[in-house]
Structure 1
């Protein structure tokens, strides 16, 4: 994804076409946008796994505590950097003028449905992710089971196909037809992992792959705006399916994947920070320092690991548990149906329900 943004999605010097500097590499890196599709498949797998056996409130708390602390920190970092060292002129696909209302709405992660610009373009995927969480909450609220997970995928895939034909904005917004197949594929792969493969699960996985070809053909034409062959994109998505199928079947269990824990922890803040901060480094490195793009791009990709690690180390690991604990306390109050009353300068006592005299109800 970072390679795609750095080499084909903008003009590094503000003048030339993105492929001016790296024409051969651009033919390959243009398919980096497919990192989003892979991310959604992994998300379906992980959410299916992590929500199993959880109550709805616990599921909501885990999602909020996981997403928001790093997101808030990355908004602050991005705004600070782009204000102090702005990148303007030429083909720069980012919005530069924000009001305080825009920033405040961004903190909710709901800027897309409310019609406000995102502080960073990459945030669009978060709204897609939130819609998946909301839809999956319908299953979590009843309790996640094999049957309910399968029926959810059937219902969502059916609705997403109908949404394409109906072409109604509200229905499209709710069903996310362009990406529903990837989330469902991830959920189905987790079912394979937990219960083993079956003709039903393999047939449904094949169906999601076929349906995804439709949205993939449209995505290729939108990224980056010139003709891009479809077959490499199909190959990449197919390889993603095959790799995750191998993981679901346990074929990768013999390998030591402990390093993936660290890599996975950095992925989220890295994604949130890499585009706009990377543009600053590349533009000034190329225009002001004359560093070749062949050096700047990999160096910038490596450099972005530092702020991502800082956010993970000092924000996610510190404030994530704090937010989770605070939300759990609020959740317990909801489950008790009343908070504790505070009396005598801050001491607390359980609220005493008001007794209504018989005959006066």
Structure 2
């Protein structure tokens, strides 16, 4: 995911490790630290099904660690992703960076998972078993098309992709600076409309295959048009994202709209920090979004289950407090191991379900066999996951990201004006 997925590694913005602490540009190091904490929290949350079932059951009714982790990710995405677009005003470069950042490791993780499924070593969640499901996954919008995720964690990438489409759309029509208002609109929609909007309204029909193909064509077309400075293409992409989140997600529309509200809240925080919007107004709006998100969980998402309501509420509040604490400490030196954990956070996030499946084959256990709960296996799982994630970040993610940057520069050297630059020049005139 982009927090999870990030706007790109901050390795180049941090000094060489001359001490146990990073010493240059902690502004980026604190974001890395947040990613690392969030990724490891989600991994431990899922590992607890296997290795700490009793503890997980006792804690879940009071605190949902999975929700906490992904909400921290979404806040960081909202904070940093729009900056990568606005920094140079190039929609084309934005999409190139997203593709080269997300898809390489995604391809590896999905490929290994499908291999384990074929060998009978991974229990399918109903993931890609046909052309339609494969196309849906290729768009990253599968969770908004009622297509089961081949890996359980892939659902968040669908909301990341919807966020990207919206960020580009708002940039194209020059309302991207109104992040605070956008966050408030999505939060109010999640609270007032989330309980009445239909879930999977389009994909619940017998025309699901046709809808998946149509959405894939629309997504590819709008991205291509937006990358050529087409305002119409960008707006159509944003409209597609809103429709899918509002009426066609696997999760309830209330949760999907709340996620978008949280992400644009992250953007509003960044703008307040940079003096682009009034601090006091931003603080008030952020408080409204936080309250609306909490109430959305109580009234719309988990209306019938008080224990899930508690878990949602504490997770949302804890995610907000974690982000605020990290911001307060952003000018402090960050331990190198913590910022390093953030640089491998995407690998941690995508690979931990795959490694859990391998551990189940090797050592037994699984969520259906809680008697196999084992603290020693959990202790072994974490360093193996970190080591594996370090290798995939170094040998899969980083090289392809460098390739993406070279291709982007080469396009500009040929004389192509950055797509979207005209919009920036017009705004600055």
TM-score computed with the length of structure 2 as normaliser: 0.63
Specify the SS of the correspondent of 1:179.
helix
| More relative contact order, 1 or 2 (CA 8 Å, 6+ apart) | 2
- Aligned alpha-carbon RMSD (Å): 3.6
Distance 1:237 1:257, change over 3 A: farther
CA distance in 2, matches of 1:324, 1:143: 26
Q: Does 1:200 align with 2:277?
A: no
CA contact (8 A) 1:189 1:244 kept: no
CA distance in 1, matches of 2:389, 2:116: 14
Residue 186 of structure 1 corresponds to 266
Residue 305 of structure 1 corresponds to 386
| Residue from 55, 70, 78 that aligns with 2:113 | 78
Q: Does 1:26 align with 2:57?
A: yes
CA shift for structure 1 position 221: 4.3
TM-score computed with the length of structure 1 as normaliser: 0.74
CA distance in 1, matches of 2:359, 2:305: 26
Larger Rg: 1
CA distance in 1, matches of 2:146, 2:383: 34
CA deviations over 1:284-339 (Å, ceiling 9, x no partner) = 41359x975222223223322233222211111111221343355557779469xx
Residue 110 of structure 1 corresponds to 141
Residue 153 of structure 1 corresponds to 183
CA contact (8 A) 1:66 1:320 kept: yes
Q: 185-194 vs 212-221, which deviates more?
A: 212-221
Q: Does 1:316 align with 2:397?
A: yes
CA shift for structure 1 position 191: 2.0
Unaligned runs of 5+ in 2: 1-41, 203-241, 247-255, 419-429
CA distance in 1, matches of 2:122, 2:135: 23
CA deviations over 1:41-88 (Å, ceiling 9, x no partner) = 111112143333332222222222221122112222222344346144
Unaligned runs of 5+ in 1: 13-17, 338-361
Distance 1:187 1:265, change over 3 A: same
| Residue from 158, 177, 187 that aligns with 1:127 | 158
CA shift for structure 1 position 99: 3.6
Residue 347 of structure 1 corresponds to none
CA contact (8 A) 1:139 1:149 kept: no
CA distance in 2, matches of 1:108, 1:293: 38
Work out the number of aligned pairs and report it: 318
Distance 1:303 1:63, change over 3 A: same
CA contact (8 A) 1:59 1:140 kept: no
CA shift for structure 1 position 162: 5.5
CA contact (8 A) 2:105 2:396 kept: yes
CA shift for structure 1 position 137: 0.9
